[in-house]
Amino acid sequence: DMEVAIKVVVVGNGAVGKSSMIQRYCKGIFTKDYKKTIGVDFLERQIIVNSEEVRLMLWDTAGQEEFDAITKAYYRGAQACVLVFSTTDRESYQAIDNWREKVEAEVGNIPTVLVQNKIDLLEETVIKNEEAEALAKRLKLRFYRASVKEDLNVNEGVFNTTSSNVTN
């Protein structure tokens, strides 16, 4: 049996919950003070799609995104992308166009989903629903509201779509 491995890059501003999302999906846990293990480029999870084994490799950053210092190696060979912004961080929402362009410049137009994380903090929101939906529509992206903390829409939403996007 040939095993399929798919590289997925998770991008967005610092502190939107990218590392937490990867950890949630691959390890099934949420820790408030998660710090990426130094030296690990990605976490992986094995899934079954159309009775085929697929290895999703979710690439994390070590915080370089905050210094705009993500190297080409991070994007190289990526077959899918998860673009993340936070419910409580307007700058992270405004930065999505920029992240999309960066990914596209490195790897072209790969299957991508847009995620508004930290939906559990909805009472602190700084982004109107219409704005988030308009962004998704303009970029022609499937859009999910998620909470990594409450485990909402991570498995069944974001990564379910990501895996079927790349295997169908």
Q: State whether residue 156 is helix, strand or coil.
A: helix
Q: Which of 79, 112, 117, 165 binds ligand GDP (CB under 6 A)?
A: 117
**Distance between CA atoms of 150 and 153, rounded to whole angstroms?**
9
Partner from Mg ion, ligand GDP, none binding residue 117, C-beta < 5-8 Å depending on class:
ligand GDP
Distance CA 102, CA 120 (A): 29
Site string for Mg ion, 3-22 (x = CB under 5 A): ----------------x---
Tokens 């509201």 locate to 145
Query: Which listed range, 51-59, 93-101, 116-124, 159-167, lies at the site for ligand GDP (CB under 6 A)?
Result: 116-124
Which option in ligand GDP, Mg ion, none does residue 15 bind, with CB closer than 5 to 8 A by kind?
A: ligand GDP
Residues 33-92 that bind ligand GDP (CB under 6 A): 34
Contact predicate 11/102, CB 8 Å: yes
* d(C-alpha 151, C-alpha 168), whole Å: 26
Tokens of 33: 């003070």
For the four alpha carbons of 136, 31, 22 and 13, in that order, the dihedral sign comes to positive
Picked from ligand GDP, Mg ion, none, the partner binding residue 44 (CB below 5 to 8 A depending on kind) is none
- Candidate residues 4, 14, 102, 139; the one interacting with ligand GDP per rule CB under 6 A: 14
16 binds ligand GDP, rule: CB under 6 A: yes
Sequence-distant (6+) residues with CB within 8 A of 90 are 126, 127
By CB under 6 A, is residue 145 in contact with ligand GDP? no
Binding region for ligand GDP (CB under 6 A): 14-20, 32, 34, 117-118, 120-121, 147-149
